[in-house]
Each structure stands twice: as structure tokens, then as C-alpha cells.
Structure 1
């Protein structure tokens, strides 16, 4: 295994980090960073296959970058290392694309902004020759966003809720009517995605870094990381170290980073949704006995857990459905994923990623390395870095494909409904 460290002091960048990194929490993937809670950084992959588990980011590197500052609860990490390293060799063998297992380390400054300290790029030895080369982390962000934050969480993993509702709940059931506005077009959108986006040889495989391994990667993340009880915003923030419980703070959470729009705005919306759902559920189910005697409702939740998410049916983290409080928690989580979370990862896609140099989806070649084995290429990079970057970014055809796809995905429905704006008429009314 070979690795390269890029620190904030490196001076051969043609892009200002002062422009790039402050946008981190305002982009399409604001739920990926985590508070660094373990040190030193270590991989959990098999060292006999993927090399040493120790990260090349050392304490001395951090100290050199932030001399004189306290680091307790100030270091954050964007970690794709263990997720992507097993795919690096296969992806590179596809041709015209590259991939790295990457880690990006940030420091929370006294001004409340994130300063990048180091980027670690890792790849296994290829043909017995070490490759210490640099690639832009946005290609990894783009793939994770589209395959995990967007497709897996808001489309794929929501299907069991919808299918079970259509099978087990009548159209007159109060919970069906509560959920239905949030799922009106999900199944048809998913069908279109399977027909033109995520199927073999189509948009995702031809324009995003993982290529034909995209759906395999999504499935692995579902197996290793997806759990219903972490899908709600408060639990998600806590599990990533981005917030701690604090009864004196708004919404009962104290954020690790104050300038975090996804959390700030999201918690406001979460509170509104929870209040809406609470009032609704308590109206129809004022007592626990009404939950326990509702055979349709219990059958719906049973199918969600044991059929729709059958691979995880034996997990202990599934919430029980016995009381109105249980139902409120379950429905609030589902509505949040289908609305607040979905809005964060979907509607801004063209605005943030329509200009592909800002958020490339694929890197077509390895960047020149600093040991200058290819001296001509390295010289060209130093003299005209923009030209090399253009050859590394997606091709014109790939760019047009992604742009046209993102503008369609980002569009709002002409008959879009907003919470509380339109109430479905009573059954039988005209």
C-alpha cells in the first residue's frame, strides 16, 4: 500500500482553499463529516491484503499545521478510506478513471470555519510499482452523495415503507393518509432511475468514479452502515459527533459547529415535523391500546422490518411499535428522510454540481506525482495546471450527461405540496 499526504501548506494548488473548503457544510453532502473521536487513525481493513492499518497522518503533521491551538473536539474527518480502498484496483482496471481511498482532516478554527489540515490518498501497489499521486476528493464526494446520501437513503431504503403501506394499510387509514403526500412520486422516480440511471452501462456507471461497482458499493454501505434508528436527524448528528444532548440548547442539542446550515435549519424543520406528526397521531391514537389493536398498522410495521428490510430483520435497534410515542418517532423519522433530508441532497444538485469543475463526478487519470518519474507530465502540470485538470475532469460527453441529469433531478414538481399548505379532503367528500 502506498500513500501521499497533502497538507494545507503545500503551495502547488491552482485553486484557493479559502474558496473551496468553507463551502463544505453548504453543499450536497453536509452529513458526511464526523468529529474525530479516535486517535491515532487506523484502518479496520485486513493488513495482509490492504497494507498497514496506521494512517500516514501523524500528530506531528497536525501540530505543525495548528501550532498553539487546542485540538480537543476541534478535529473533524471526512473518511472514505476503508470504504473505497477495496475498490481502487477494480475501478482503475476499467480504464479512463481513477480512484483512491481518502481521508481529509479538518480543524475547527476560533472563527467557526473548517480549515483543511491534510488529505491522505491511498492506493494499493499497481503492477508492483508504487503510485503516489493526487486526485481531487470531490469525485469521491460526488459518488458517495449520489449512491448513498441520495439513492440509498431517500429512494431505495424508503421503498419498503411505501410498498408495505400499499399492501397493509387501506387508503382510509389515518397513517396511510399522513404518509401518502411524502411518497406520491417515489416509486415512479425509482422505476425511472432503474431504467436509465443506475442500470448497467447507463448514467451512473459511465459518469461516476465507481463505474460498474456503483450498486455494489451502495449495497455494502447499506449492509454496514444503514440502520433505521440513525436515520432521524438528532440521532444522526449525535452518532457523528456533530452534536451532544443539552437540555438548555435549542431542540435539546448543542452543535459542535455553530455554522452548520444542514443541522441548524434541519433541526428547525425536524421540530416542526415532529409537532405535526405528534398532533396527528395523538388525535387518532390517544391511548396505547389503540395502537396495539390496530392490525393494519402493526402489519405495516412488521412488513417494513421483516420483509422490506429483511436483511436486517434481526437487528436489535428496530424501534418497537406499542405506544403513540413509538409511532410518532417512527413516522417523524420516515417523513424527515422523505422531505428534509431529501431536499438537502436533491434540489441543490444542479446549483452546486452543474458546474463540474466545482464538483467533478469522475477523474479520468491519475495526477502527476511529486517524485517526477514522468518529468514531462509533471512539468506540464506545473506550467499549465488548468490544462492537465481539464484532461483529468470528466469528458465533454460525460459533463453534458451529468449536467442534463442533474437539472432534471433538481426540478420541483409542478404540483409540489408543502407541509400544512394543503390538507387532503376527508374520505367521501367532494
Structure 2
């Protein structure tokens, strides 16, 4: 007679607990135990979030349990059950076997979980069972283009992708607190602003003071936004002034510290942003969207300074080039109208499309084609947690007709969708989604360019290299030969679905190496690194400063009314004040961005789903975590020397996934 200790962890999702009867059979090599009922007298087993322990005795001695067979009935009022994991210990040999599940257990359906359960499909001894499981998953995970021209998403949110109860409750509670405070402030002070100080009155202790409100009409802060703000990936090294940009040598001479424009270009100190993609962007009502050029100079004090702004693409008398020497509020207003385009680009592309939407299609395709026991699925899964859930929530509350974006932005959802559709023609995983290549394409990869100022780049490269090193070790462990890569039919099907056009039911991702046919490990490493980086570091850079930026309407306007300036006549602060969001609009935007700016899940490397249980792979995870700890120390040291510390990409501030 031998005793087994069985430990069961029920998930934390809403409705995860069950009153059903749960049965288990333990399997070894060619042997198995009888059926056991997991039940403790006078105890409510399998409650949400609980860990339950059971002891069973058997005549069958399995020194190391290799596999478990599990099922439940439909007994009780609440029979649904979400299982996180099961551990089985043979108390005679003291060997523990781990069986990750992370899924809903459906009634009267038998589930088989293997110890460690990590193998390529061609090596799986239970190929037929694996195939059946994947077919069941594919019924739940279907791709659909919900908005014509936009990325593919999950057709209906599967139960396994829903928020945990606590996570969803916390999001709702925070939103309610901010909404109640907003209502109080509007009731107390009305809708329209009295003066600039009145705008600051909304920064109560409930909301806090956004960082962007601490400077006002400051050119150095405006330059830092382009490097280390929410949208740090659109600045390009300037090697030529576009024909349609009316800036001249005489205009900018006072701002180049004695250099000509050519000398500034040769010294790699002149930079440009071109917002031509916003041409034709629809807006809400009579609002106007700018399509600006902005020129910047990196000065001797290591500050990126704006030196010229043209608000529309076609140069002409009614579209002047605005300069820092223009009347104070005229220059300020020109910067605000530039920033309207910047914030619209940020929200539509840098944040929504290039992280949330692109990664959702990739994650759905992964789950459709890679079995849960596939090592690549185990590698990616922690970086997909809550992604489909948050996108589904956003489609119903933020980016729906009449939702938050329609109420708080100049472009509205139609404008955002218009820009997203345009971007689908150029966004590539191997360029825009691969940090070093993105930096090279913009001429800013070399750290001798923008030295000491481009903190986002400098910190992000450390993290990209750490992720790539981790991924490479992991991939090389499971694909020791190129033939094992090409023989992996699940991986090849995933690659094919990634590049298959959306019209044909695929994800339609451009720039997947070798068009999705993985024949070399470096192709797979690049793809996986880009995905993990985007889901963690890329999203963190684009997301967690939202309240600090959008909460300050003079600093980062998302809405402006009236018309942009057509000449250099002096502008009054009253004109500027009338153009920004009113109190209701601003508080609505503050509420949304405050919730979005609060990190709700665990930090990079500290995985919510501990699916990697293969001992060699666990070693790679530990090495990754150690590397992140060293990066944290490096960033801490850098921030001690920085005049304006940059904390957004400290590893402790980066979640594993796009979960908010």
C-alpha cells in the first residue's frame, strides 16, 4: 500500500469554483491506479482561488506519476470549474509531479495531463489525443476581422481568456471611484474653464497631479516628450528637408548654435517628424486634424529642442512655419496643434494597433495552432494573459461608437480606424516590431546619436537583448537541429496562419521571417523576441504614462476645438483655453487614462502562469530573471545621473503582458 498526496489549485476567475464531484486516476509507465473521488468531508472543496490537499492510498506503487486522468460531473448548482494546476507526490519515494492545467474543466469530459508535459508534436507519445485537444481549442479560438481593414481578432472571447474575478473587480472599482469624483467636480465648478488655474483644480487627491502639468509652454519638455514620452518611436534623423516643408535656413539659423542646417545634419543633430499619415483623417463634428511637420535640434546642452513646426503638409501663405521666436502663445498654440496629431497617432497606432490589436491576432493564431504542451506555447502564454479580455472590454467601452474615444478626442473612432487601416500597409514585424531594426530605420540606433537624452532607447535595448538571449536559449534547447524545426508541423501551421491574408482567414502580419516558413532557428528567435518584447516592454513604453501626459491638456491635447492658426498673429491665453477639452471631456479622459496607467499584473519574468516546468527551461527562466535584476541596477544607476529620470522601463514597472 502506498499513499499519494494530491494538491489541487482552483483558479481565481469569476465562477471558477465548483460543487461538482471530481475524479482522478494516476498513471505510470504501463500501470494506473483505480478511480478516486477528490473530496473532504464537511468541507466545501474547490472554492475560487483555494488550494485543496487530498491523500489517497493505492495498491499500485507508481514511483513517479507520469500522467493524470481527470474529470468532473455536473452535480450541484455551480458545477463550472477552472483548474490552475495539480501536484501529485508519492509519499514513499517523495517524488512530486507537476501538472499545469490553466483551463476550464467541462462536465463529463476526460482530461489527460502529462508530467512536465512539454514536447514537440512529432515527439508526443499521445499524438492523437493532442490533435483532438487542439481541434477542441480551435472551435473556441476563431479569427475574425471585426472592423473592415483592421487586424484580425478573436471572434468570441473564450472562457479561458476571461479576467480573474479580483482583476476585473479592481478595474471596475477604480473606474467607479474616478467617475464619482468627476461628477462631484463638474457639479461644483461647471463645465467651462474660468482660467488656467481652474484647469489645475481637477487634480484632486483622488486623481493626483499628472507630471505633464508641472511644466507649461516649455520647449525642452516638448523635446523630451518626443524621446521619452508615450510616442518615442516616430522621431527620425533628418538628412533632407522634404519638398512640402517650407522651413528655410534663414528661419532656423538663430536656433542652431552657429551651425547651418547641413552642418547640423552632418553632425546628426537635426531630427524630423512627418505626420503625413494623418492626411484625410476624419474627425468628430467640425473638429480639424493637423498633418504636421516638426523639426528638432539636439543642442550642446543635450536637449532636443523644437525649432520649426508646419501644421499641414502643403506649404503656402496660410500654412506658415512656426518658430520659437514667434509670439509666446502663438508658438505654444502651434505646438499644441502639432501635439494633437501626435496624441492621435499615439493612441491609434503606437498604443492600440501596434500593441493591442496586432498582438491579439498573433496570440489567437498561436493558441489555434500550438497545443498547450508545445514548448513555444508555454513560452508565449505568460505574455498573452488577459490580452483578449482587455481588447474585448475596450471594444465595448472605449473604441465603440459613442464610447470614450468619441467623447474625448478630436478624431473619434472613425479617425482612429482610418489611421489604423493605413498603417496595415507598412507595419512589419521584422522592422517596426523589432527594436534594433526600428531604430536603424529611423537613423537613431547608434548611441552616439542623441547621447544622454534618448533614455527610452537606451533602456529598451538592454531589455530587448535580455529577451532575445532568453528566447534563443529556449529555442535552441527544443530545436537542437534544423530538421526538428521543419518537422514541427504545429509551428509551421502557426507561421502560415500568421502571414495568411485576413481576407482568407489569417492574421495578415507582414515581415514574418521567410514568410512564416521557419527553416532556421534565428528566424524563430526574431519572431518570438519581437512578440514578447511588444507584449511587455513595447506596451509599457506606450501605456503607463498616459495619465501623466493626457491628463494635462496644455501638454498633450487629445482634443482641440476651433481652427489652427493660419498666420503668426499674437494669440491670447484665453483663445488657447477655449480650444482645449472642457471639464467633462477632460475628466472623462483622466478617468480612462488613470485606470489604464495603473499596473495590475506581475512584473516581467514573474509569470502569472507558471507553465514552464521542464527543468532545463526553468534554468533559462531563472537566468532571464537574473539578467532583469542586473538591468534594474543599471537603470537605477543611470537614473541617479539623469536630470530627468526615466522609470517607465525599469523591469519592475513592466508587466508580462498587455493586460490593461
Q: Same fold (TM over 0.5)?
A: yes
Q: 1:66-215 residue pairs with structure 2 within 5 A?
A: 66=256, 68-69=258-259, 70-71=263-264, 72=266, 73-80=268-275, 82-87=276-281, 90-91=282-283, 94-95=285-286, 97-122=287-312, 135=334, 136=336, 137-211=338-412, 212-215=414-417
Tell whether 2:334 aligns with 1:334.
no
Encode CA deviations 1:324-354: one digit per residue, 9 max, x unaligned.
2221111001111111101101122113322
Encode CA deviations 1:177-222: one digit per residue, 9 max, x unaligned.
1000000111111111111111222211232222232211111122
Deviation at 1:77, TM superposition (A): 0.8
Q: Secondary structure of the equivalent of 1:86?
A: coil
Query: What does residue 602 of structure 2 align with?
Result: 416
Deviation at 1:124, TM superposition (A): 7.4
The CA distance in 2 between the partners of 1:314 and 1:241, in whole Å, is 20
- How many residue pairs get matched? 374
CA contact 1:364–1:393 (8 Å) conserved in 2: yes
Instruction: Rate the CA distance shift 1:317–1:217 in 2: closer, same or farther, 3 A.
Output: farther
Tell whether 2:441 aligns with 1:239.
yes
Instruction: Rate the CA distance shift 1:155–1:314 in 2: closer, same or farther, 3 A.
Output: closer
Q: 1:20-59 residue pairs with structure 2 within 5 A?
A: 20-37=222-239, 39-42=240-243, 54-59=244-249
Deviation at 1:235, TM superposition (A): 0.4
TM-score normalised by length of structure 1: 0.80
Which structure is higher in helix share? 1
Tell whether 2:471 aligns with 1:277.
yes
Tell whether 2:252 aligns with 1:62.
yes
Deviation at 1:261, TM superposition (A): 1.2
The CA distance in 1 between the partners of 2:477 and 2:590, in whole Å, is 46
Instruction: Rate the CA distance shift 1:163–1:280 in 2: closer, same or farther, 3 A.
Output: same
1:350 aligns with one of 547, 553, 573: 547
CA contact 1:140–1:209 (8 Å) conserved in 2: no
Encode CA deviations 1:144-170: one digit per residue, 9 max, x unaligned.
111000000101111221111111111
Q: Secondary structure of the equivalent of 1:101?
A: coil
Alignment root-mean-square deviation, CA = 2.7
CA contact 2:223–2:305 (8 Å) conserved in 1: yes
CA contact 2:303–2:453 (8 Å) conserved in 1: yes
Q: 1:353-392 residue pairs with structure 2 within 5 A?
A: 353-367=550-564, 369-370=566-567, 381-382=571-572, 385=573, 387-392=574-579
TM-score normalised by length of structure 2: 0.53
Deviation at 1:16, TM superposition (A): 3.0
CA contact 1:367–1:392 (8 Å) conserved in 2: no
Instruction: Rate the CA distance shift 1:314–1:27 in 2: closer, same or farther, 3 A.
Output: closer
Specify the structure having the higher radius of gyration (Cα): 2
1:229 aligns with one of 430, 434, 446: 430
Tell whether 2:583 aligns with 1:396.
yes
Deviation at 1:24, TM superposition (A): 3.2
Query: What does residue 3 of structure 1 align with?
Result: none
Instruction: Rate the CA distance shift 1:226–1:314 in 2: closer, same or farther, 3 A.
Output: closer
The CA distance in 2 between the partners of 1:405 and 1:86, in whole Å, is 27
CA contact 1:305–1:313 (8 Å) conserved in 2: yes
The CA distance in 2 between the partners of 1:277 and 1:289, in whole Å, is 19
The CA distance in 1 between the partners of 2:598 and 2:376, in whole Å, is 28
2:521 aligns with one of 324, 332, 340: 324
Deviation at 1:64, TM superposition (A): 4.3
Deviation at 1:400, TM superposition (A): 1.1
